[in-house]
Amino acid sequence: MTRFAANLTMLFTELPFLDRFAAAKAAGFTAVEYLFPYEYPKEELARRLRANGLKQVLHNLPAGDWAAGERGIACHPNRMGEFRAGVDRAITYAHALDCGQLNCLVGKVPAGVSAEVAQATLVANLRQAAGTLRSAGIRLLIEPINSYDIPGFFLTRTEQAIALLDEVASDNLFLQYDVYHAQRSEGELAATLQRHLARIGHIQVADNPGRNEPGTGEINYAFLFRHLDALGWKGYIGCEYKPRGDTGAGLGWMTELTA
């Protein structure tokens, strides 16, 4: 049975962030994810999860100066110390929130840095992070992001990510497969999911164009959800989309597309 997690960065945005946990519960969700927890005390976030009977399934490693446009620093050769300190900080939050997966946004290639140097830096950082997280009982994920939404992002396609998993060669590094980003970058959604399911740690959904609710665009989500069930997907599916209107009023797609 398909299990959905509310992405609190994208859903219920009419509410203050800490109030979105209760809104997710009221809407019928049993799990949540979001970009970053670091703005809030981990004890308060854990209290909100417990109070609403929610499981946290994902958050990201620190990703540099988000407000300034940074989207991760894992491929930045002059910031390896900062990256590794961020891994340690993420672990303290993940343990407090009982969150078993952390996503690494690898970042945009810095000016003046070659693709070869960025790749070597990324591999070294991921090897270190995957090992550290294994010791902490947490899985590490990496996510390809389409180059239309984030120009210059280093990791853009599934096969590039799979090659990176092979090079890092850790049994604690997995792919985060975002259907929206994959559709924009490459298509071939069903075949790619089938080919790489064993290496996928988390799935996220939004439709295209617009990054709105599933069922509002070109992606055949009714087929795709049946396909994932047939493949035996047991994980959560993160709802990382921009509601066209009120979040709660737009949630009918979950029943309509999984019937």
**pLDDT 10s digits, 115-146:** 999 999 999 999 999 999 999 999 999 999 99
- 110 has pLDDT over 70: yes
| pLDDT one-digit tens code per residue, 143-200 | 999 999 999 999 999 999 999 999 999 999 999 999 999 999 999 999 999 999 999 9
Per-residue pLDDT, 1: 66
**Choice among 70, 116, 143, 186 that is catalytic:** 143
Q: What sign results for the dihedral spanned by CA atoms 175, 73, 79, 59?
A: negative
Indicate the DSSP class of residue 108.
B
Mean pLDDT computed over every residue of the chain: 97
Quick one: tokens of 60? 């990201």
Q: Which domains does the chain have, with CATH numbers?
A: 3-256 (3.20.20.150)
What pTM was computed for the model?
0.97
Burial 217-227 (b: 16+ CB within 10 A, else e): bebebeebbbb
| pLDDT one-digit tens code per residue, 83-96 | 999 999 999 999 99
What single letter denotes the amino acid at residue 204? Q
Q: Is 143 a catalytic residue?
A: yes
Indicate the DSSP class of residue 99.
-
- Is 231:239 a contact under the CB 8 Å cutoff? no
